[in-house]
Amino acid sequence: MTQTVSRPAGAQQAPLPLDVEAIRADFPILTRTVRDGKRLVYLDSGATSQKPRSVLDAERDFYETCNAAPHRGAHQLAEEATGRYEAARATIGAFIGAPAEEVVFTRNSTEAINLVAYALSNAATAKEPAFRRYAVGQGDEIVVTEMEHHANLVPWQQLCERTGATLRWLGLTDDGRLDLSDLGTVVNERTKLVAVTQQSNILGTINPLGEISARAREVGALLLVDGAQSVPHQPVDVTTLGADFLVFSGHKMLGPTGVGVLWGRYEVLDALPPFLTGGSMIEVVRMEGSTFMPPPQRFEAGVPMTAQVIGLAAAVEYLQRLGMDRVQAHEEALTGYALEKLAGIPGVTVIGPPDTVARGGAVSFTVEGIHPHDVGQVLDDLGVEVRVGHHCAWPVVRRYGVPATTRATFYVHTGYDDIDALADGIREAQRFFGVGQGEVS
Amino acid sequence: MQLQSMYQEIILDHYRNPHGRGLREPFEAEVHHVNPTCGDEVTLRVHLDGDTLADVSYEGMGCSISQASVSAMYELVIGKPVDEALATGEHFMTLMQSKGDASVAEKLEDELEDAVAFAGVSKYPARIKCALMSWMALKDASARALSATSTTPAGGQQA
């Protein structure tokens, strides 16, 4: 649930829920400077997050003390590596309220979504009848939204092209929310799967999954939730989510690159054929054909990204120590402050919900008369690192009639001072390009 | 402040008052190029008179660097034979790969005229594509226009 941060105008800023100074000391990269000695103001956690020392230490410790290929070999190192790998699976599962056997490791959210999309098309031709239950084919429909990251759109377009299924989507309202007015017709008896983001990476919107889940249940469709921008920033519990799948990326939640998670309800995972095949995922292999392990091993072909999985478990433990409720409250306070600051700069327009109700900390905006790239360049010159462009959500920027946006995203080490630096930087860009604040170009 | 090295006044002038902007007829080839990492776009037409670029017309949207670059390019290539224009494009590419080495810019001053002001962009790898987009579009459109005129000798396909 989200709470609205209310603060009397002009009053001292309320203390933030997290101790920003103490947290910053945990992130080695935040001690460096950029662009000729400027303090690094990292406002691009939505693209990838920085890593605390405990995550880096966990990876290093694995390599230094028990590096071996898990689930192979019977020597001591292999046993220890397997133990650490599976312990990490349990830790990461518990973080989202899931038992370990429902947690599949992938490279990132993108691969997790592709895994499901390919399993659904592979199901049509699977020789095992048990794997055909969720087969997608001609006459079936897949539903996405106009708000999706390309990673939760293109794999479904491709699934439809492979199978002859039809892609349908829910549109957006002018204030950056999902338009659910036609939910009842877009999601119907032909719908096989609904794929929707929990938190928009560009608008910041937190979507009403309950309503979508109820409709998916009603028509017997699967629900996949893209949690790449929600799992790092708010408590997520799969026992109350109402979904069949949840995907997220380690590198966006203080963890290493190269590891992501597909959570699936066991019953559903168990009825899916594999996506990638090879070592570790097999039961019996003969020259004539092979049988496969149960989930999660069925979906983890090859030697896994062991050190990264262990690093991700350390990231999860770091977040648990802070408390996800407080992480969310922290970002909500920052978002409220940022929205207030940006509203005070003439010529700046926020693309997305204008207040903190059902909204996360991705703040996209345009500056009248200055292209986002140029805004980003001026900010970069001041040490403020933001994302510019279409944020891998091209249909969203198109929907709002802008070529691109500048986006600031927040995390546990972000403080009011970072947002002040952003606001000052925008004013500097206006001054540099001679626009806004009463000046003419 | 490093910004001035990239945003030379001459670049901002081209951005605010682009030369040759607008799509015109006749033309033998039209191309649409995008910079997929950021969404910069340019639509560019080429009209040939023999092997000379009689007109290069364009519409586009994007950052100051991409829009100023196409304007500066227009000034450089208009009225030039295609091969000479493309050779200038190669010089511009060399400038973009110079990583801010002033001696490269100095050597190319005569060939690149206003476009030598983009030397500062070469220090910012993320922006080089912005500056190069229009040159890539010109290369593409010229090749298409040449092959169109060689197969349809009666002045090419008129819009």
Concatenated DSSP letters for B47-96? EEETTEEEEEEEEEE--HHHHHHHHHHHHHHTTSBHHHHHHHHHHHHHHH
For residue A214, the surrounding DSSP H or E stretch is helix A209-219
Report the top-level CATH class of A20-52+323-433: alpha beta
- Asked if A433's CB is within 8 angstroms of B3's CB, the reply is no
Inspect the interface and report whether the beta carbons of B40 and A432 lie closer than 8 Å. no
Is the model's pLDDT at B132 over the cut of 60? Answer: yes
Q: Tell me: the pLDDT tens digits for A234-277? A: 999 999 999 999 999 999 999 999 999 999 999 999 999 999 99
Fold of B3-149: Sufe protein. Chain: A (3.90.1010)
Contact residues, chain A, for B39 at CB < 8 Å: 389-390, 394, 397, 403-404
Extended strands (E) in A199-347: 222-226, 245-249, 260-264, 282-286, 289-292
Residue of A nearest to B35 (CA): A389
Residue B95, min C-alpha distance to chain A (Å): 20
Q: Count residue pairs from A and B with Cβ separation < 8 A.
A: 48
Q: What single DSSP character describes residue A341?
A: H
Q: What confidence tens digit (pLDDT) does each residue in B74-95 have?
A: 999 999 999 999 999 999 999 9
CA dihedral A43, A49, A50, A54 (to 10 degrees): 140
Min Cα–Cα distance to chain B from A259, Å: 23
Structure tokens, A102:
């429902």
Enumerate residues 6+ apart whose C-beta is below 8 A from B110.
none
Interface of A with B in 323-382 (CB under 8 A): 371-374, 377-378, 381
Low pLDDT (below 50) residues in chain A: 1-10, 438-441
pTM of the model: 0.92
Q: Taking CA atoms, what residue in A is nearest to B125?
A: A377
Q: What is the reported pLDDT for B1?
A: 55
| Contact criterion met (CB < 8 Å) for B63 and A371 | yes
pLDDT of residue B6: 87
Q: What does the domain layout of chain B look like in residue ranges?
A: 3-149
How far off is chain B from A380, nearest CA to CA, in Å? 10
The answer to whether residue B2 scores a pLDDT higher than 80 is no
* pLDDT score, position B157: 46
Closest Cβ opposite residue B39 in set A377, A378, A390: A390
Cβ pair A134, A117 in contact under 8 A: no
Q: What's the confidence (pLDDT) of residue B4?
A: 85
- What DSSP line would sit under A47-110, residue for residue? T-----HHHHHHHHHHHHH----TTS--SHHHHHHHHHHHHHHHHHHHHTT--GGGEEEESSHH
Domain boundary assignment for chain A: 20-52+323-433, 55-320
Contacts within 8 Å (CB) and 24+ apart, B32-38: B32/B137, B33/B133, B33/B134, B33/B136, B33/B137, B33/B140, B34/B133, B35/B62, B35/B66, B35/B129, B35/B130, B35/B133, B37/A389, B37/B129, B38/A372, B38/A373, B38/A388, B38/A389, B38/A390, B38/A404, B38/B62, B38/B63, B38/B130
pLDDT at residue A374, rounded to an integer: 94
CATH level 3 topology of A55-320: Aspartate Aminotransferase; domain 2 (3.40.640)
Give B-chain residues touching A388 at CB under 8 angstroms. 38
ipTM of the complex: 0.86
Integer angstrom CA distances of residue A17 from A326, A330, A334, B100: 6, 5, 10, 45
Same fold for the domain at A20-52+323-433 and the one at A55-320? no
- Measure in Å the smallest separation between the Cα of B12 and chain A Cα atoms: 8
The residues of A that are catalytic are 392
pLDDT of residue B5: 84
| Cβ A315 vs Cβ A52: under 8 Å | yes
